């Protein structure tokens, strides 16, 4: 996967690209990230990338010219490139969207700032608009980082275990089951005995029940699209009955 990020603050990415999942993916040449400074493509002595909006109003708008020239400087990969603008109007990122985006060879991410980008960039140069949530950020840089992290985890070889990304929360539309490690007892709380039993089927059922219960309690909205099996439905009925009590 090749990521190219267009931003006026490329320095924000320096630490992010050296550590964690994405850092290892870059080191192992499974992911390549290019940073393009939009300011390098601005004209004039001050390299201005924004201006006052036509029609008046508060704030500044990112100019179309520098973004357009920066975008044209990016070498496209095999015709399998997608240009995405990080902005509040975009489709909210979720796991199915992440899987779909991971099928592209190259994602070119434009990080908006201030009051946004000139509408003509949106109309002429963007394939997709993406958002990481319904809240206000100063710019698209944090969104681009989240997007790269989420998608990189789906690329074969990036994570250690073959099933690591499959068993993550949201992969099956459910929250992940509780996890435990040593010591066996911590602050008088013991690891559930079933996890120490060595009985793989009992462990599987416990984890599935725990996942369903956690989802039902914390994110019941996810259950409607989770693709539940008949076994899952039975377990949910048992969970509901237990919660109602005698």
8/46 Cα distance (integer angstroms): 13
Residue among 88, 171, 176, 178 flagged as catalytic? 88
Report the C-alpha gap between 154 and 59 in whole angstroms. Answer: 38
The yes/no answer on whether domain 185-244 falls in CATH 1.10.3470.10 is: no
- 209 is known as an active-site residue: no
| Domain span(s) for CATH 1.10.1270.20 in the chain | 185-244
Do residues 64 and 35 lie in contact, with contact meaning Cβ atoms separated by under 8 Å?
no
Q: How far, in Å, are 95, 110, 154, 180 from residue 163 at the CA level?
A: 15, 32, 10, 18
- Which candidate, 173, 168, 200, 195, places its Cα nearest to that of 184? 195
How far is it, in rounded angstroms, from Cα 81 to Cα 226? 30
pTM, 2 dp? 0.86
Residue 2: CB atoms within 10 A of its CB come to: 19
What's the half-sphere exposure (Cβ side, CA atoms, 13 Å) at 207? 15
Render pLDDT for 200-234 as a digit per residue (tens, 0 to 9): 999 999 999 999 999 999 999 999 989 899 999 99
pLDDT single digits (tens) 32-62: 999 999 999 999 999 999 999 999 999 999 9
Task: Answer yes or no: 163 catalytic.
Answer: no
Per-residue pLDDT at 128:
97
pLDDT interval class at 160 (50, 70, 90): confident
Residue in 69, 153, 208, 219 annotated catalytic: 153
Record the tokens describing residue 200, joined without a space.
């793989």
Q: What is the mean pLDDT of residues 18-31?
A: 96
Q: Give the active site residue among 168, 171, 208, 209.
A: 168
CATH 3.40.1280.10 residue ranges for the chain: 2-152
Calculate ∠ Cα 146-150-152, nearest 5°: 115
Residue 78 has pLDDT above 90, yes or no: no
**Active-site annotation holds for 115:** yes
Question: Of 40, 53, 115, 129, which is the active-site residue?
Answer: 115
User: DSSP for 206-236?
Assistant: HHHHHHHHHHHHH-GGGGGGS---HHHHHHH
Q: Does domain 2-152 have CATH number 3.40.50.2000?
A: no
């Amino acid at each position: 996967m090749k990521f190219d990020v267009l931003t006026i603050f490329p320095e924000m990415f320096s630490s992010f690209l050296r550590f964690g999942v994405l850092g290892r993916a870059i080191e192992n040449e499974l992911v390549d990230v290019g940073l393009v400074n939009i300011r390098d493509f601005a004209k004039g002595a001050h390299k201005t990338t924004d201006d006052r909006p036509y029609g008046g109003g508060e704030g500044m708008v990112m100019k179309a010219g520098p973004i357009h020239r920066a975008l044209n400087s990016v070498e496209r990969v095999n015709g399998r490139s997608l240009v995405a603008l990080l902005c509040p109007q975009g489709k909210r990122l979720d796991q199915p969207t992440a899987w779909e985006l991971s099928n592209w060879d190259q994602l070119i991410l434009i990080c908006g700032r201030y009051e946004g980008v000139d509408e003509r960039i949106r109309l002429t140069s963007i394939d997709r608009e993406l958002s990481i949530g319904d809240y206000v950020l100063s710019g698209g840089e944090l969104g681009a980082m989240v997007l790269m992290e989420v998608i990189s985890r789906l690329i074969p070889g990036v994570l250690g275990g073959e099933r690591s990304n499959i068993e993550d929360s949201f992969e099956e539309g459910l929250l992940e089951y509780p996890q435990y490690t040593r010591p066996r007892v911590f602050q008088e709380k013991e690891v559930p005995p079933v996890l120490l039993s060595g009985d793989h089927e009992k462990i599987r059922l416990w984890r599935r029940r725990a996942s369903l219960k956690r989802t039902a309690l914390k994110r019941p909205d996810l259950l409607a699209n989770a693709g539940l099996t008949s076994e899952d439905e039975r377990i949910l009925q048992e969970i509901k009955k237990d919660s109602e009590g005698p």
